[in-house]
């Protein structure tokens, strides 16, 4: 791959690969947080402390399901190479 003309722009080699992981992680954080807040708001009678624990649990479950189940078992893609 390194024997090409040095003046030719190759987009695949210029875009850092880690940015796709960062975009995926930020998108997952946004989706997980808003979903956790919306799901938790449907529960009635929770104290503030219980509300925070439920949000944290739902938020963490999104990460667990995405990175372990979907990405690890179904898509067979390693998180770290």
pLDDT tens digits along 11-64: 666 667 778 888 989 999 999 999 999 999 999 999 999 999 999 999 999 999
The answer to whether 69 and 43 are in contact (CB under 8 A) is no
Domain positions in the chain: 15-74
Is pLDDT larger for residue 4 or for residue 72? Answer: 72
pLDDT above 60 (res 2): no
Rg (CA), the chain: 19
Q: Would you call 69 helix, strand, or coil by DSSP?
A: helix
What local confidence, expressed as pLDDT, does residue 81 receive?
A: 60
DSSP conformation letters of 43-75 = --S--HHHHHHHHHHHHHHHHHIIIIIIIIIIS
Q: Report the helix count and the strand count for the chain, using DSSP H and E.
A: 3, 0
């Amino acid at each position: 791959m390194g024997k090409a003309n040095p003046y030719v722009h190759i987009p695949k080699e210029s875009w850092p690969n880690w940015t796709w992981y960062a975009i995926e992680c930020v998108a997952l954080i946004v989706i997980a947080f808003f979903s956790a807040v919306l799901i938790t708001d449907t529960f009635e009678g929770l104290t503030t402390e219980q509300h925070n624990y439920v949000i944290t649990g739902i938020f963490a479950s999104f990460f667990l399901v995405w990175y372990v189940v979907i990405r690890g078992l179904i898509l067979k893609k390693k998180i770290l190479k």
